[in-house]
Amino acid sequence: MSPSVITVETKENFSQNLVINRTTSELSLQGRIRVPGDKSISHRALMLGAIAQGHTQIQGLLLGEDPCSTASCFQAMGADISPLNTELVQVKGIGLGNLQEPVDVLNAGNSGTTIRLMLGLLASHSGRFFTITGDSSLRSRPMSRVVKPLQQMGAEIWGRQGSSLAPLAVQGQNLKPIHYHSPIASAQVKSCILLAGLMTEGKTTVTEPALSRDHSERMLRAFGAELDIDPQTNSVTINGPAQLTGQTVIVPGDISSAAFWLVAGVIVPGSNLVIENVGVNPTRTGILEALAMMGADIERENEREVAGEPVADLRVRSSRLQGCTIAGEIIPRLIDEIPILAVAAVFAEGTTVIKDAAELRVKESDRIAVMAQQLNKMGAQVTELPDGMEITGNTSLVGTDVDSYTDHRIAMSLAIAALNATGTTNIQRAEAAAVSYPNFIPTLQQICS
Ligand code: S3P
């Protein structure tokens, strides 16, 4: 008998239950797998390709729902983007300042990166009017973090609750440069302001309290923008107006997607798994550092640089984990991996404390509350903190009904937790995984067979 049976039940409303039934204790994860393209880099490649002069070719684009939202918004504003049905995507750029006024509301779907980065571009397209919305999760997420600095630059933006919630309406303006001291370490905030600075005459600077992912900086430079980066103060300055020229972008595998297999490999006894072609940009490798702190056996193999981003194959072997404290400057470098890190902590010796991560409460779901509730339903001991979680490790999980709350990272984290639970786990609304990892369930079935 196979050590686990993984099935998908599709309901009448097209929502999917992922059912993971551990039949024996013989499961171990072996082999070599690849994860889909990095979501953050995929969004940026589509956006910069659309607004640059000339042709951009993107290899390895994530074909998930979020990048599809970005592509359809830019297509609605005149960019010529080849259909997102292959990982090789061609973009004919329309040139900076040439986004057309869309005839309908732009829809960013579930994607915070799409709406927040795009707002910087829309706000600086003088004389054009845009409206933008998203799904119910996105319409409840805070937009004031980008609206306020854009307003300081002279942007005109309207929306519910003092322009803090989508749908938003934007009347494009000629903006003025500012030096923005962001209260949060957020790549979406930083990138929004840098994109607004592209067409703004003069120096637009963002300073953040800790370094967030730097894919925008790397890609803007590669497309020809003039950037000054001061690592001492975590400041980036863009010198506008910029000239952007189409490029070839090679998107590495997403470390945020690899994180599910890293934790699976660590917690499932006897595993030895290689995840190939993973982006290991230091602003994203907090998960590797946190798992190393906990005693995980993860090795980098075949380290190389591909189109301006560091890449490696990651070999993970099952390991005994020890609880630890994860807080401070590492948090922005593993913010999306905290749900799966919580799963690792459940199987660690001792207590794990995650702090300084209040941002998790305003992601696709309140990831602190949802992870604590769902893991506790399975028998874990997770206590919510205002800005994180305290997890008492070494508890045995028992399969039960759990819910993703339509959050892709919650759905996938619970699936990995289920691999080490006895009995049957039924994850409701598991189709959410397609936001960032359309092949997650087939890959899970493959490595568990
Ligand atoms: C992202 C930045 C992060 C991250 C999100 C993607 C990006 O959000 O959580 O999934 O591509 O810039 P914040 O910048 O809000 O932390």
pLDDT tens, per residue, the chain with 449 residues: 455 689 999 888 889 999 999 876 678 999 999 999 999 999 999 999 999 999 999 999 999 999 999 999 999 999 999 999 998 999 999 999 999 999 999 999 999 999 999 999 999 999 999 999 999 999 999 999 999 999 999 999 999 999 999 999 999 999 999 999 999 999 999 999 999 999 999 999 999 999 999 999 999 999 999 999 999 999 999 999 999 999 999 999 999 999 999 999 999 999 999 999 999 999 999 999 999 999 999 999 999 999 999 999 999 999 999 999 999 999 999 999 999 999 999 999 999 999 999 999 999 999 999 999 999 999 999 999 999 999 999 999 999 999 999 999 999 999 999 999 999 999 999 999 999 999 999 999 999 87
Query: What residues have CB less than 8 Å from 69, skipping those under 6 apart?
Result: 107, 108, 109, 110, 111, 114, 134
- Spacing, Cα 111 to ligand 1 middle (Å): 10
- Spacing, Cα 188 to ligand 1 middle (Å): 5
- At residue 136, what are phi and psi to the nearest 5 degrees? -65, -35
Q: Closest Cα to residue 408, out of 298, 270, 291, 260?
A: 260
DSSP string, 313-363: EEEEE----B--EE-GGGGGGTGGGHHHHHHHHHTSBSEEEE-S-GGGGGS
141 is in an annotated binding site: yes
- Spacing, Cα 366 to ligand 1 middle (Å): 15
Residues in contact with ligand 1 by the CB-under-6-Å rule are 40, 113, 186-188, 191, 212-213, 335-336, 359
Computed over its alpha carbons, how large is the radius of gyration of the chain?
A: 21
User: Which residue in this structure is represented by tokens 């090795």?
Assistant: 299
For residue 191, which atom of ligand 1 is closest to its CA? Answer: 12
- Continuous segment of H or E residues that includes residue 400: none
CATH 3.65.10.10 fits 3-37+252-447, yes or no: yes
- At residue 270, what are phi and psi to the nearest 5 degrees? 80, 10
Query: How far apart are alpha carbons 128 and 122 in whole angstroms?
Result: 8
Q: How many CB atoms lie within 10 A of CB 46?
A: 29
Give the residue, by CA position, lying nearest to ligand 1 atom 13.
186
3-37+252-447 and 39-250: identical CATH topology: yes
pLDDT value for 1: 44
Sheet of strand 179-181, all strands in order from the earlier edge strand to the far edge: 179-181, 202-207, 235-240, 227-230
39 is in an annotated binding site: yes
Q: Are 273 and 316 in contact (CB under 8 A)?
A: yes
What end-to-end distance do the CA atoms of the chain give, in Å?
10
pLDDT value for 24: 63
| Catalytic choice (135, 214, 336, 407) | 336
Tell me, yes or no, if 214 is annotated catalytic. Answer: no
Question: Per-domain residue ranges for the chain?
Answer: 3-37+252-447, 39-250
40 is in an annotated binding site: yes
Enter the tokens of residue 369: 């509350």
363 is in an annotated binding site: yes
- Spacing, Cα 222 to ligand 1 middle (Å): 21
Query: How far apart are alpha carbons 320 and 88 in whole angstroms?
Result: 40
For residue 190, which atom of ligand 1 is closest to its CA? Answer: 14
CATH superfamily of 39-250: Enolpyruvate transferase domain (3.65.10.10)
For residue 332, which atom of ligand 1 is closest to its CA? Answer: 16
Q: Are 45 and 58 in contact (CB under 8 A)?
A: yes
- Spacing, Cα 187 to ligand 1 middle (Å): 6
Give the residue, by CA position, lying nearest to ligand 1 atom 11.
40
CB contact burial 371-394 (16+ within 10 A = b; e otherwise): bbebbbbbebebebeebbbbbbbe
Give the residue, by CA position, lying nearest to ligand 1 atom 15.
186
Q: What's the length of the chain? A: 449
For residue 216, which atom of ligand 1 is closest to its CA? Answer: 12
213 is in an annotated binding site: no
pLDDT value for 3: 57
**CA dihedral for 207, 208, 209, 213, sign (positive or negative):** negative
pLDDT value for 291: 98
Query: How far apart are alpha carbons 290 and 331 in whole angstroms?
Result: 10
Give the residue, by CA position, lying nearest to ligand 1 atom 9.
336
- Continuous segment of H or E residues that includes residue 165: strand 165-171
446 is in an annotated binding site: no
For residue 359, which atom of ligand 1 is closest to its CA? Answer: 16
Site to substitute for ligand 1 among 111, 213, 220, 437, most atoms within 8 A of C-beta = 213
- Spacing, Cα 193 to ligand 1 middle (Å): 14
